[in-house]
Structure 1
Amino acid sequence: MLRIATANVNGIRAAHRRGFGDWLAGRDADVVALQEVRAQADKLPEGAFGHLHVALDTGTLPGRNGVAVLTRTPPAAVRTWSGTALVGGPPEATGLPGAGELAAVPAPDRIPLARGLGPFAAQGRYLEVDLAEAPLTIACLYLPKGGLPAEMQRPERMREAPDGGARYLRKMAFMAAFSRYLTRTRRAAAAAGREYLLMGDLNIAHTRQDLAAWRRNQGSDGFLPEEREWFGQQLSPRTLVDVVRHLHPDLDGPYSWWSWLGQAFAKDAGWRLDYHLATPRLARTAVRAEVDREFRGQRLSDHAPVVVDYDWG
């Protein structure tokens, strides 16, 4: 059995103050994918990744983005878009304390970047590892949040200043390029005899089941028709399967993001933005999926971890 989790921590330091370290130790996952680590190596909290080995791409934007994959044993290979990664083991395995255990190493990307991904390569948005103990490639993605196209922007209804559609265009460019990359890396995993699992914060609610207030959000970024169409194009019975939806086909949610404002969390008025997308053979082994809404009465982030048990190996 493999227990695999994904969590947008919205800042590893803030998450630790809310109990992330205890959650990590108690959940006993074999693999954990993290997004929005939001800390350079010298700013990581003591024991940031607990008892697990880590591969981390912080990106070059201080306080933003950053992705990591945590594993029980050192991964067989690490690949990032930037070509380097920070890797390390737990203090008890290395004899080094806290963040001092991390070392920068080359992480050559064996699959050429798809056209259009270059501007995002140093932002700390994607990382993948090959597990040493199972024929499985784990990929972690933090997809840009985006915004509204220029013609839909109404200043009186926006919390952020209008940007002429710049954030929207950036997200659409990323999705088009990532779709090409996803096909390449998934096929590369298959050619190497590995299953492939993409996890992360995709910043899109795919269907009406994935958004509590879908009627009033039909004109909101993250639920635009073109975003949802793109998401659907990544899925098929032969390529990638939405594992949580496969296990819960008739359930609204389970949601994984709630605004900090108002009563959104208390009323479960959330969005499902965090996913496990698996190759079909791996998806068929999923036996349980849960969203850890809170830990000991405390929210770890505005997102919640999505945990899936795979009867694998």
Structure 2
Amino acid sequence: MRIITLNLNGIRAAAKKGFFPWLAKQTADVVCVQELKAQLPDLSGEMLSPDDYHGYFHCAEQKGYSGVGIYTRKKPDRVVEGVGITGIDAEGRYLQADFGELSIVSLYLPSGSSGEHRQAAKFYFMEHFLPVLQNLMASGRQIILCGDWNIAHQEIDLKNWRSNQKNSGFLPEERAWLSDVFDRVGFVDVFRRLNSEPDQYTWWSNRGQAWAKNVGWRIDYQIATPAIAQTARSVSIFKDERFSDHAPLIVDYDHTL
């Protein structure tokens, strides 16, 4: 089972950069996308259901903002939009597809980098989403949460960690919260289970030649319950083509949908 996750930074922009022809060649079973920046009427037929894929979407109420989607070759047993919290669901940040005992989630945490009001919204999300994660863990289902968490967990996960300790995405409170997700709730960072190397990033600023110099952040994850995480066999970050300011994170699991 191959799962890909990518923050598109606008599905229409990513389409113009060749995302869908690339996707057609990936033999992925499930593809989770974030930051659609579009409503359903904005999506072309290719965006709604690429070759051999069923498409599901949870769009933000605000036009041109946020939104998540899931493409899957196999039709899910059930699709869940949102977590049931108005302040979170209005921004289109959670979409869950169920296949038997496995749930695959496309998730997009808020960014707090644009100002104090958005950092407050991020902390609100974190506070209210932790019980959702606890309930998912307690459900007994296998869960894979794919997406842009907008938090670099450890010093190894961003190039300039010393100068970013007071910046959104690497604040002590954010890192401690993500540690709680792993250590207390019990989820597993699938990429780090298989790859402990430095300089493994999934997002690069558009400023200062960050991409060319690989001055990046690892803020896109596949985070899973322990049993399904144990079946992960390979992880990679695709950088040969660029569809967004993020790169696709690809994980192959020894599992059949």
TM category, shorter: over 0.9
User: What does 1:42-81 align with in structure 2 at a 5 Å threshold?
Assistant: 42-48=41-47, 49-51=49-51, 52-81=53-82
Show the counterpart of 1:143: 109
Please give the secondary structure, in 2, of the residue aligned with 1:70.
Answer: strand
Show the counterpart of 1:121: 89
Show the counterpart of 2:173: 226
RMSD across aligned positions (CA): 1.6
Post-superposition shift, 1:59? 2.0
- Give yes or no for contact 1:238–1:280 (8 Å, CA) kept in 2: no
Show the counterpart of 1:263: 209
- Give yes or no for contact 1:237–1:280 (8 Å, CA) kept in 2: no
Post-superposition shift, 1:23? 1.4
Show the counterpart of 2:40: 41
Post-superposition shift, 1:185? 2.5
List runs of 5+ in structure 2 lacking aligned partners. Answer: none
Show the counterpart of 1:197: 144
Show the counterpart of 2:250: 307
Relative to structure 1, the CA distance from residue 182 to residue 273 in structure 2 (aligned partners, 3 Å threshold; closer, same or farther) is same
User: What does 1:1-313 align with in structure 2 at a 5 Å threshold?
Assistant: 2-48=1-47, 49-51=49-51, 52-81=53-82, 113=84, 117-131=85-99, 135-147=101-113, 165-188=116-139, 190=140, 194-236=141-183, 239-249=186-196, 251-295=197-241, 299-313=242-256
Amino acid at match of 2:132: Y
- Give yes or no for contact 1:294–1:300 (8 Å, CA) kept in 2: no
Post-superposition shift, 1:173? 1.2
Post-superposition shift, 1:46? 3.6
User: Moved runs in structure 1, 4+ residues, more than 3 A?
Assistant: none
Post-superposition shift, 1:219? 1.5
Amino acid at match of 1:126: Y
Please give the secondary structure, in 2, of the residue aligned with 1:277.
Answer: strand
Please give the secondary structure, in 2, of the residue aligned with 1:205.
Answer: coil
Post-superposition shift, 1:55? 1.4
Residue by residue over 1:134-161, the C-alpha shift from the partner in whole angstroms, topping out at 9 and shown as x without a partner, is 53101111100014xxxxxxxxxxxx6x
For 1:304 and 1:141, locate their aligned partners in 2 and report how far apart those are by CA, in whole Å.
Answer: 16
For 1:228 and 1:206, locate their aligned partners in 2 and report how far apart those are by CA, in whole Å.
Answer: 5
TM-score by length of 1: 0.78
TM-score by length of 2: 0.94
- How many residues align? The count is 254
Show the counterpart of 1:152: none
Post-superposition shift, 1:80? 1.2
Residue by residue over 1:269-295, the C-alpha shift from the partner in whole angstroms, topping out at 9 and shown as x without a partner, is 100010000111111111110111232
For 1:199 and 1:256, locate their aligned partners in 2 and report how far apart those are by CA, in whole Å.
Answer: 13
For 2:153 and 2:81, locate their aligned partners in 1 and report how far apart those are by CA, in whole Å.
Answer: 26
**Bigger mean CA deviation after superposition, 240-249 or 229-238:** 229-238
Amino acid at match of 1:5: I
Amino acid at match of 2:36: V
- Give yes or no for contact 2:199–2:214 (8 Å, CA) kept in 1: no
For 1:59 and 1:12, locate their aligned partners in 2 and report how far apart those are by CA, in whole Å.
Answer: 13
Identity of aligned residues (%): 43
Post-superposition shift, 1:239? 2.1
Residue by residue over 1:239-272, the C-alpha shift from the partner in whole angstroms, topping out at 9 and shown as x without a partner, is 21000011012x1142000012221111111000
Please give the secondary structure, in 2, of the residue aligned with 1:255.
Answer: coil
For 1:12 and 1:238, locate their aligned partners in 2 and report how far apart those are by CA, in whole Å.
Answer: 32
- Give yes or no for contact 1:5–1:31 (8 Å, CA) kept in 2: yes
- Give yes or no for contact 2:134–2:185 (8 Å, CA) kept in 1: no
